[in-house]
Amino acid sequence: MIDFHCHLDLYPDPAAAAAACRQQGHYVLSVTTTPRAWRGTLALSKGAPRVRTALGLHPQLAHERHGELPLFEALLPETRYVGEVGLDGSPELRPHQEVQRRCFDRILAACAAAGGRVLTVHSRRAADAVLDAWERKPGAGTMILHWFTGSRRELERAAGLGCWFSVGPAMVRSSRGRDALAAMPPDRILTETDGPFATGLKGPLGPGEVEEAVAACGVSWRVPHDEAGHRLAENLRQLGETALAA
Ligand code: MN
């Protein structure tokens, strides 16, 4: 299974979560929320070649952790993957909008200077602001908007800018989420869990538990479940090529 946005380090037992990925052969993008979490989270991927670790600074933490930006820049040469990063326009975070924007701009500039990265990006209530930043700092690489909840117009703008999308079980459970999925370019979609924050029918989603999202892709694309899985795997392969060429 492809789980392109999973917080392995935030499960109650991170080592067990990582071991499950290894045993089941999942392709996992293991994201972090602060640069200080990088070393420990990277260690979880040891012996698991299909688990890649992303260097992140979560927008909900930007106001507390912006002092770690120099560490972010120092670590960036070690990875091709960046996340979780982005902007969050929720009302309670409104006082921190400016520091979020500065952090995200600086992260995008660092990615561009490093020759481009694959980024998994949070855009809750801030899709246009994320896309504005993306246009302000060209050359940052390939942006995957995770659990996209923006408007149809914002989705079309993102697609027009070449963005990818990652969709998970929690997203496709709502009709709004399924409508968004139907409007996304099928060849730029991956699956994710956003575990352990997103929940499935039996509680927090484990790494790689994306079956409901694969099924929703099949319905949306009007193809059998297996074919949806093949197409998602092909998307991942294409992403690898795109990112390598960037
Ligand atoms: Mn997340």
Unique residue bearing structure tokens 């990063």? 85
The pLDDT assigned to 200 comes to 85
Mean pLDDT of 142-152: 98
pLDDT of residue 153 exceeding 60: yes
Ligand 1: centre distance to CA 246 (Å):
25
The pLDDT assigned to 245 comes to 55
Ligand 1: centre distance to CA 196 (Å):
9
Ligand 1: centre distance to CA 120 (Å):
9
- 97 CB burial (10 A radius; 0-12, 13-18, 19+): middle
pLDDT of residue 113 exceeding 80: yes
Residue 68 DSSP symbol:
G
Ligand 1: centre distance to CA 192 (Å):
9
The pLDDT assigned to 243 comes to 63
Mean pLDDT of 40-46: 97
Beta bridge partners of 144: 120, 164
pLDDT of residue 75 exceeding 60: yes
Ligand 1: centre distance to CA 42 (Å):
17
pLDDT of residue 246 exceeding 50: no
Name which of 197, 162, 154, 168 is nearest 33 in CA terms: 197
Ligand 1: centre distance to CA 162 (Å):
21
Ligand 1: centre distance to CA 87 (Å):
12
The pLDDT assigned to 143 comes to 98
Ligand 1: centre distance to CA 153 (Å):
23
Q: How far apart are the first and last CA of the chain?
A: 25
Per-residue model confidence as pLDDT tens digits over 165-222: 999 999 999 999 999 999 999 999 999 999 999 998 888 999 999 999 999 999 999 9
Q: What is the pTM of this model?
A: 0.96
Ligand 1: centre distance to CA 78 (Å):
21
Ligand 1: centre distance to CA 122 (Å):
7
> For residue 230, what is the enclosing H or E element?
helix 225-245
Per-residue model confidence as pLDDT tens digits over 7-30: 999 999 999 999 999 999 999 999
CA 228 to chain centre: 20
Ligand 1: centre distance to CA 207 (Å):
12
Ligand 1: centre distance to CA 6 (Å):
7
Q: How far apart are CA 95 and CA 175, in angstroms?
A: 32
pLDDT of residue 83 exceeding 70: yes
Ligand 1: centre distance to CA 175 (Å):
21
pLDDT of residue 101 exceeding 60: yes
Ligand 1: centre distance to CA 7 (Å):
7
Mean pLDDT of the chain: 96
